[in-house]
Structure formats: C-alpha cells, structure tokens
Amino acid sequence: MKKRKLVALLAAAAMFVTMGTGCMTTKATDSAGSGDGDGKTEITFYTYNLSIASQKEAAQKLIDDFNAQSDTVHVTGVAADVMTMQTKIQSDYAAGQTFDVVQCALNQVGYYVDNYKLPAFEDVAGQAAFDEHMEGFAENAKTLGQYRDGKTYVLPYTFSTPMLYYNADLFRDAGLDPDAPIETWDDVKECGLALKAAGHEGVQITATGDGYDWLIQAMIYSNGGDVMNEDHTEVTFTDPNTVGAISMWQDLVKSGAHTNYTDTEAQEAFLAGNQGMLVTTAALESGLISAAESGGWELKAAPFPSFEGKESVPTNSGSGLCIMSSDPEKQAAAWEFIKYVTSAEGYTTITSMMGYLPLRPDIVNDERYLKSWAEEHPFVHTNLAQLERLHRWEGFPGMNGGQIGTLLNQTVTKCIFTDCDVASEMQTAQSQAQDLMP
C-alpha cells in the first residue's frame, strides 16, 4: 500500500524510457537491414550539404541517383550539423562507429590523415582505375587532397573560389562604368570611394567569420606572402608581404571604401541592393543571382582582384570526400559512390543545383552536361579560369592547428577593423602562433 504511487510513477518513467529505447533499437536494426534483402552493400555518407535547406535537394539527388543506378551498393545520407560535425566524427571514431564516407574541409587533409586511419584512393581503387577516374579532373584540384606521401586521401568534392560580385546599377548611379574591368585592389578602392560618395556602400571582403581563413589566405598569397614556411614548421605572419596584404586591407577599410560590417550584414546589404561590391565565395552565386532578379538590379562578377603588379592567387573553400570505413567491402562500395558523385554526371548536379565549381571543367562545353547551364551562367568561366592560379587552402599542423587558424582570423579581423599597427599585431600573433606549432 505504502509506496504504490511512487513505485507506479517510477515504473512509468522507466517504461517510458525503455519504450523509447525499444523504438530506437528497432530503428537501428531497421536501417541496418534496409537493403531490401537484395544483398547490396550498405554504406553511410556523412555530409553537411544535407543539413542546408538550399542544398539538401541536390545532395539527396546525388545519393538517390547513385542508388538507382547501382546494383551492388546502397548509400544512406546522414545530415551533418556544421557546428558539431568534427566533434561528432572524433567521438564516433573513439567509439568505433564511424560513417563510411565523410565530407571534410579541404584544409584538414593533413589532420585527417595524421589522426585517422584513412585508406588512400590509389590503394582502394587500384592505381590504374584511380588514374582513369581522375582524367579530366582539374589539374590544380587533383593535388588538394594529397598528403605528404603523394597519395590522395581526400577527393575534392564541392568547392569554389573567391570572386568579386558587384551591383551594376549602383555603379552607374555612382558614375562608374560597370563594364570597365575591375582588376586590382586599387580599382576596387576607387570604385568603393565613388560608391561611398554617391551615398552607397563600397566593398566588403567577407572573410572575418568562422571558417573564412581560406579567404584571408587568398589575400595573403595574392600579395606574395605566406602563412607558413615551406616545410610547415614556422608560421610567417610577419613576412613583409603578409603584413603588406593586411595593411592594404586595413587601408581599404580606413579609407571608407570597405565597409566594416559582419560578413552576414554585408551579404544582406548586398542582397538588398545597398552594397556595391562583395568579395566572397562563388558558392553564394545562385543566391545572389536570384536576389538580383527579384530586386531588379544587375549583378556582375569579376575575378578575385590582384595586388598592383602581381597576379591574384585564389584559394579554394570547400570540401572533399574521404573513406573512413576500415572494412574492405565498404571501402570498395565507398569508392563506387565517390566515383559517381565526382563524375561528369555528379558535377552536373553539384554545379547546377548547389553552385559549386565543376571540377571537371570540360563539362561546361559538353551538350550532355553543363553547356546550356553555362550559357545562362557566364560567371562560371571566370571562376574556372581561377583554378589555373589556385593555391591550396592550408591547414595549420599539429594538435593546436585549429587554435592557430582562429588566432590568424581574430588578428586579421582586429587589424582591418581597428586603427591598430598591423606589423606589431602580426608580430604578437606570430609569437603566440609559433608557440602553438608542433
């Protein structure tokens, strides 16, 4: 009699949980056995494109198209939350429960190879089959997923380069010729000041947010600077060209040609037709195009600007695919899948629906694939031309690599948005970063 109610309550609570657990367990077995009993190899694909509403359809289409045409492999897509993705991969790895194919940022190749036992594509596919697949792949993109040993552990997948987008109507309003080429940062400054004088906003290089150090690196490389020495043992934040690049940037802001908004604010201003120029990833392009269409203004694009007398060096934002399964059968299945999504067909979907670069550049001239699309999207040629001058987006080595990246990002943000002395800020960052190098 005594504790019946309490016991009942506890029992109810316990039942509730067990019930839920039950559901979960059934679910797990379900998905494990959901190969329709036709003996296909089941693999999972962990990708953040599935968690972004505007890219989900395309990402799912890639998976569905693959599943439809494959008799031996069935892929299940798993949406990755960008914020916690890396942490989850690590914890899963510790628990021995990794996803089979994982999408990783291209600056993390070294990190992934050093820390996880990844198979090289040359080994999974066989050298000959791999070489055959890589025919027609952009030369400069091929090496981005290679490790020190020259083997490819990450296959470049979705990526783009930085471009300068501008609002032709605002240009005309400011008395500028929107058809005149904008080539150097001096040109950008001039246009920015003219726009400002006409009551509009100038340029913003959206490179201060999280994960945008690839664009900071592009600025630095374009001025002939570097972030690390050749053998990646020392950071080179105090390199005169590195400091020079940041100083030029600071000067853009000081002069008023460059706005000092957050990345998102600048994007929104541009989308709303108030910001004259935006230097940003080409992955934004489809969004910009539709905003321009509905806002009734003309969008134009130019290559990533250069420093006077130097050629601009764009970097790549974006991701590649790696195989994390250690089971040879699943590895082989993963290769089949990766082969499909990085094929001409795969890139047709990726480029036309998600806006990333076709890493098989020839398909923009091929009737079967992107020719008609490319005719409507002429900017893609500008973007592809930049692949010729591409510099790898470097990740800092060692346990504290991430820390160094954040430090660089914060220091540059501070330098460009305040009046501080760039050389001495970079000096401070240099010594802090060097302490964090392995």
Q: Classify residue 51 as exposed, middle or buried by CB count within 10 Å of its CB (0-12, 13-18, 19+).
A: middle
Stretch that binds another protein, among 49-57, 62-70, 321-329, 387-395 (CB under 8 A): 49-57
Is 15 a binder of another protein (CB under 8 A)? no
Is 184 a binder of another protein (CB under 8 A)? no
- Candidate residues 104, 106, 248, 284; the one interacting with another protein per rule CB under 8 A: 284
- CA torsion sign for 73, 157, 49, 44 is positive
- Nearest CA to 412 among 428, 397, 401? 428
Continuous H helices in 135-283 = 139-142, 168-173, 185-197, 213-222, 240-255, 263-271
Within residues 242-261, the interface with another protein by CB under 8 A covers 260-261
- Candidate residues 267, 312, 349, 351; the one interacting with another protein per rule CB under 8 A: 267
Is 417 a binder of another protein (CB under 8 A)? yes
- Nearest CA to 51 among 78, 24, 75, 26? 78
- Main-chain phi, psi angles of 96, to 5 degrees: 70, 30
Stretch that binds another protein, among 14-22, 168-176, 183-191, 320-328 (CB under 8 A): 14-22
Place of tokens 């989308």: 271
Tokens of 317: 């934002």
Is 397 a binder of another protein (CB under 8 A)? no
- CA torsion sign for 329, 332, 334, 336 is negative
Stretch that binds another protein, among 282-290, 320-328, 332-340, 364-372 (CB under 8 A): 282-290
107, 119, 306 from 383: Cα distances, Å:
20, 31, 15
Is 233 a binder of another protein (CB under 8 A)? no
Smallest gap, in angstroms, from Cβ of residue 287 to another protein?
A: 4
Q: Which is nearer to another protein, 109 or 283 (CB)?
A: 283
CB 280 within 8 A of CB 289: no
Is 68 a binder of another protein (CB under 8 A)? no
Is 32 a binder of another protein (CB under 8 A)? no
In angstroms, rounded to a whole number, what is the distance separating the alpha carbons of residues 391 and 315? 5
Smallest gap, in angstroms, from Cβ of residue 6 to another protein?
A: 4
Stretch that binds another protein, among 226-234, 280-288, 306-314, 373-381 (CB under 8 A): 280-288
Q: Which is nearer to another protein, 186 or 265 (CB)?
A: 265
Tokens of 308: 């006077």
Q: Which is nearer to another protein, 178 or 273 (CB)?
A: 273
Is 271 a binder of another protein (CB under 8 A)? yes
In angstroms, rounded to a whole number, what is the distance separating the alpha carbons of residues 139 and 156? 11
Smallest gap, in angstroms, from Cβ of residue 94 to another protein?
A: 4
Smallest gap, in angstroms, from Cβ of residue 48 to another protein?
A: 9
- Nearest CA to 269 among 176, 367, 170, 365? 170
Smallest gap, in angstroms, from Cβ of residue 108 to another protein?
A: 10
In angstroms, rounded to a whole number, what is the distance separating the alpha carbons of residues 412 and 409? 5
Smallest gap, in angstroms, from Cβ of residue 20 to another protein?
A: 4
Length, in residues, of the chain: 438
If phi > 0 it is left, if psi is from -120 to 50 it is alpha, else beta; for residue 176 that is beta
CB 89 within 8 A of CB 46: yes
Q: Which is nearer to another protein, 130 or 165 (CB)?
A: 165
Is 199 a binder of another protein (CB under 8 A)? no
- Per-residue contact string for residues 100-129; x = within reach of another protein by CB under 8 A: ---------------xxx------------
Smallest gap, in angstroms, from Cβ of residue 429 to another protein?
A: 11
CB 55 within 8 A of CB 354: yes
Q: Which is nearer to another protein, 48 or 121 (CB)?
A: 48
- Candidate residues 229, 233, 410, 431; the one interacting with another protein per rule CB under 8 A: 410
Is 95 a binder of another protein (CB under 8 A)? yes
Is 203 a binder of another protein (CB under 8 A)? no
How many residues sit in the footprint of another protein (CB under 8 A)?
Answer: 88
- CA torsion sign for 68, 69, 74, 80 is negative
Is 348 a binder of another protein (CB under 8 A)? no
Tokens of 332: 């082989």
Stretch that binds another protein, among 148-156, 288-296, 365-373, 382-390 (CB under 8 A): 288-296
Is 283 a binder of another protein (CB under 8 A)? yes
Smallest gap, in angstroms, from Cβ of residue 146 to another protein?
A: 21
